[in-house]
């Protein structure tokens, strides 16, 4: 007996201290709501334009989510500036395991490699060229970036279309099979075979993606097809932006304007910054600046500034800009306010590609608090112990009292889909052990919801509070609780890995709150102010159940219905995972629950012939 006690004590100690259990985890995003939101057509239905001629150039600079249809025939890749690390210029094409809807190619299996995204050029007439004209295709590629590394089973491939209409593999590289900050690598491919020197030449990039942990991310940038080149023609005469500018705000990325104006000096970033890269092999002197406009009123917030800097060849430099003074008084307290900021560099040479010399970025003040930039590069989730709930909370602050109306949450897709997983929204004014608080102080909750994935406002799923919650000036915490023994383990929440600064997040899987060690912003946004329509406050419907419990809600008696004559063991637990009642039940017979306190519980039924998820009941 003494040995057993010692063993249990040691096991419990390890249970509380073993962070190697992997309580916090990061997974692939598996869903792109920006692509999902657009009503688009299949690649084959895209209009083919007139045949292109040399030179062909693409650096994916722009604000669209899909490839430019004047250069490309399909739209399966994702054009962005967040999935890459240190691009050649702003904008890349990302290849992954998501289709043009932004959802997984296979929603059920996550083990088999598949041919995933493709990027196919429009027809290009190179029939008048020969091997002596030295036609070369060059491009830069990067595995992983801000996503996940491709495994050895994954690959990025390049095909050329021959004069018979067949696409022939001419280049391929397997996944590195390890995580690392991989730089962009340039590839130079000569086109000398007469099979390809015809009037409807096309080239096509394709990736093979494993739908498992890696998710097989590849980025491509700066594609150039032209003649009179050589294998040594790797110099790009261009200076362009590589990163998006930082936000106007000091910590939040967005907040209601009334909250901003109440403490504008503290909320305003002292300066803004972005980065440019000199692709010349010589030093270049650049002129740069920015301007700002209030879109609501047309008022000029900042006239164009001017500054000069000299850059060494092949270097990246951060540009900084002094923040402008706030000159707009508050409009309607509930109004959405947008400041349009335009950042620019003057072209070094008339032959420089002009698209990457200007960035327009809006600073949005709306009805939510956010630390994220609206794009998820990865997913965050907790590994739960079977008998304990999991909790996630994000710290926010208010500069004046406000009303919490709901929560917007960005859920990452999971394979298979996780619409059956349950969670509750919890709002706290204090967390035990955090910032000196002795215990949790819960302000409100919305119990037992299911994740939603449809495109909605800001591409988040919106949950409405049961009633408005008045919050005072100061700190509050908003997050979710995943019930124990409910099948809700590993619920994916979008993670913006480009977040700069602390993530303000805490988690609790052992009964104690801990600061999150994951870099990035959890995409959970409190909604403030006026009424917000919820896109879902529905409870999950579990499919394929082989038993049921009635009535629900119940006051004194529960009755189980299941196949077979044998008895089954039932367990009733509260949402904290504590067992409150246990017994045996036969199909069609009643069980007395009158001793239970009114509230929400989970009921599990176990026998040799049953394979079923727990069910939620309400005790009146």
- Of 154-158, 165-169, 418-422, 459-463, minimum mean pLDDT range: 418-422
CB 511 within 8 A of CB 410: no
| Domain closes at, from 234, 260, 276 | 234
293, 422: one domain: no
How much is the pLDDT for 397? 98
Which segments of 399-471 are extended strands (E)? 402-409, 423-430, 441-449, 461-471
Q: For residue 6, what is the domain's CATH number?
A: 2.60.120
Count of structural domains, the chain: 4
Tell me the backbone φ, ψ of residue 429, rounded to 5 degrees: -100, -15
How much is the pLDDT for 107? 53
CB 206 within 8 A of CB 118: yes
279, 175: one domain: no
252, 199: one domain: no
569, 557: one domain: yes
How much is the pLDDT for 17? 35
Residue 597 DSSP class: P
Q: How confident is the model at residue 36 (pLDDT cuts 50, 70, 90)?
A: very low
Which secondary structure element, helix H or strand E, spans residue 341, and what is its range? strand 337-345
Query: Residue 121: beta bridge partners?
Result: 72
CB 591 within 8 A of CB 560: yes
Q: For residue 145, what is the domain's CATH number?
A: 2.60.120.260
Residue tagged 């593999």 (tokens): 169
600, 520: one domain: no
568-574 vs 599-606, strand pairing mode = antiparallel
Query: Which has more confidence, 208 or 457?
Result: 208
In a domain, 534, yes or no: no
Q: How confident is the model at residue 118 (pLDDT cuts 50, 70, 90)?
A: very high
Q: How confident is the model at residue 532 (pLDDT cuts 50, 70, 90)?
A: confident
CB 503 within 8 A of CB 371: yes
39, 135: one domain: yes
Q: For residue 568, what is the domain's CATH number?
A: 2.60.40.10
Residue 33 has pLDDT above 60, yes or no: no
Residue 435 has pLDDT above 90, yes or no: yes
335, 389: one domain: no
Q: Which of 294, 290, 367, 292 is nearest to 328 (CA)?
A: 294
How much is the pLDDT for 71? 95
In a domain, 217, yes or no: yes
Q: Which of 614, 498, 619, 493 is nearest to 558 (CA)?
A: 619
357, 398: one domain: no
584, 499: one domain: no
| Domain closes at, from 340, 365, 390 | 365
212, 265: one domain: no
Query: Which has more confidence, 55 or 548?
Result: 55
In a domain, 533, yes or no: no
342, 302: one domain: yes
In a domain, 179, yes or no: yes
Domain hosting 182: range is 31-234
Residue 26 has pLDDT above 80, yes or no: no
Tokens of 407: 């929560």
479, 574: one domain: no
In a domain, 389, yes or no: yes
In a domain, 194, yes or no: yes
Residue 261 has pLDDT above 80, yes or no: yes
- The whole-angstrom separation of Cα 427 and Cα 440 is 10
- The whole-angstrom separation of Cα 487 and Cα 482 is 9
Tell me the backbone φ, ψ of residue 459, rounded to 5 degrees: 65, 20
In a domain, 370, yes or no: no
- Of 60-74, 158-172, 281-295, 470-484, minimum mean pLDDT range: 60-74
| Domain closes at, from 495, 528, 561 | 528
Buried b (16+ CB within 10 A) or exposed e, 494-529: bbbbbbeeebbbbbbbbeebbebebebbbbbbbbbb
In a domain, 542, yes or no: no
Kindly give the residue spans of alpha helices, DSSP state H, lying in 255-345. 257-261, 264-267
The pTM of the full predicted model, rounded to 2 decimals, is 0.77
599-606 vs 615-619, strand pairing mode = antiparallel
The pLDDT tens digits for 355-388 are 889 999 999 999 999 999 998 888 899 988 888 8
Q: How many CB atoms lie within 10 A of CB 168?
A: 13
Q: What contacts 332, CB < 8 A, 6 or more positions away?
A: none
The pLDDT tens digits for 557-570 are 988 888 777 778 88
């Amino acid at each position: 007996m003494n040995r057993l006690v010692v063993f249990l004590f040691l096991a419990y100690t390890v249970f509380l201290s073993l962070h190697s259990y992997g309580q916090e985890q990061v997974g692939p995003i598996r869903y792109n709501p920006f692509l999902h939101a657009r009503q688009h057509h299949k690649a084959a239905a895209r209009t083919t334009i007139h045949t292109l001629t040399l030179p062909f150039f693409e650096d994916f600079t722009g604000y669209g989510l899909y490839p430019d249809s004047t250069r490309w025939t399909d739209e399966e890749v994702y054009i962005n500036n967040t999935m890459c690390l240190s691009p050649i210029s702003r904008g890349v094409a990302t290849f992954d395991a998501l289709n043009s809807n932004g959802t997984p190619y296979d929603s059920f299996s996550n083990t088999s490699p598949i041919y995933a995204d493709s990027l196919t050029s429009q027809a290009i007439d190179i029939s008048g060229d020969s091997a002596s004209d030295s036609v070369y295709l060059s491009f830069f590629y990067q595995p992983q970036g801000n996503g996940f590394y491709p495994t050895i089973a994954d690959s990025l491939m390049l095909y050329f279309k021959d004069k018979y209409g067949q696409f022939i593999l001419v280049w391929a590289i397997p996944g590195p099979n390890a995580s690392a900050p991989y730089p962009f690598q340039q590839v130079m491919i000569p086109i000398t075979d007469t099979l390809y020197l015809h009037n409807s030449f096309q080239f096509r990039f394709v990736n093979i993606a494993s739908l498992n942990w890696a998710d097989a991310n590849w980025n491509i940038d700066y594609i150039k097809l032209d003649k009179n080149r050589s294998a040594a023609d790797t110099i790009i005469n261009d200076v362009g932006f590589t990163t998006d500018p930082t936000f106007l705000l000091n910590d939040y990325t967005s907040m209601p304007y009334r909250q901003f104006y109440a403490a504008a000096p503290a909320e305003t970033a002292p300066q803004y910054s972005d980065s440019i890269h000199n692709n010349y092999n010589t030093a270049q002197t650049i002129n740069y600046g920015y301007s700002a406009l209030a879109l609501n009123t047309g008022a000029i917030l900042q006239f164009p500034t001017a500054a000069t800097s000299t850059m060494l060849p092949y270097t990246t430099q951060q540009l900084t800009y002094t923040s402008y003074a706030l000159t707009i008084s508050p409009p309607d307290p509930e109004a959405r306010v947008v400041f349009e900021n335009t950042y620019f560099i003057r072209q070094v040479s008339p032959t420089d590609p002009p698209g990457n010399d200007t960035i327009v970025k809006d600073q949005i003040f709306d009805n939510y608090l956010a630390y994220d930039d609206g794009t998820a590069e990865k997913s965050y989730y907790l590994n739960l112990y079977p008998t304990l709930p999991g909790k996630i909370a994000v710290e926010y602050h208010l500069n004046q009292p406000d009303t919490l109306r709901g929560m917007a949450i960005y859920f990452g897709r999971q394979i298979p889909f996780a619409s059956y997983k349950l969670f509750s929204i919890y709002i706290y004014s204090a967390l035990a052990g955090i910032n000196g608080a002795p215990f949790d102080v819960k302000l409100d909750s919305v119990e037992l919801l299911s994740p939603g994935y449809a495109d909605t406002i800001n591409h988040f799923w919106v949950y409405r509070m049961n009633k408005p919650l008045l919050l005072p000036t100061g700190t509050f915490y908003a997050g979710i609780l995943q019930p124990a023994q409910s099948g809700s383990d590993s619920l994916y929440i979008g993670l913006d890995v480009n977040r700069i600064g602390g993530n303000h997040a805490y988690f609790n899987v052992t009964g104690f709150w801990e600061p999150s060690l994951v870099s990035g912003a959890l995409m959970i946004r409190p909604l403030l102010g006026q009424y917000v329509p919820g896109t879902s406050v529905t409870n999950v419907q579990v499919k394929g159940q082989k038993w049921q419990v009635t009535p629900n809600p119940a006051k004194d008696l529960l009755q189980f219905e299941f196949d077979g004559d044998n008895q089954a063991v039932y367990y009733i637990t509260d949402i904290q995972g504590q067992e409150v009642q246990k017994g045996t039940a036969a199909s069609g017979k009643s069980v007395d629950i009158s001793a239970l306190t009114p509230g929400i519980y989970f009921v599990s039924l176990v026998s040799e012939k049953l394979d079923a998820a727990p069910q939620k009941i309400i005790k009146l």
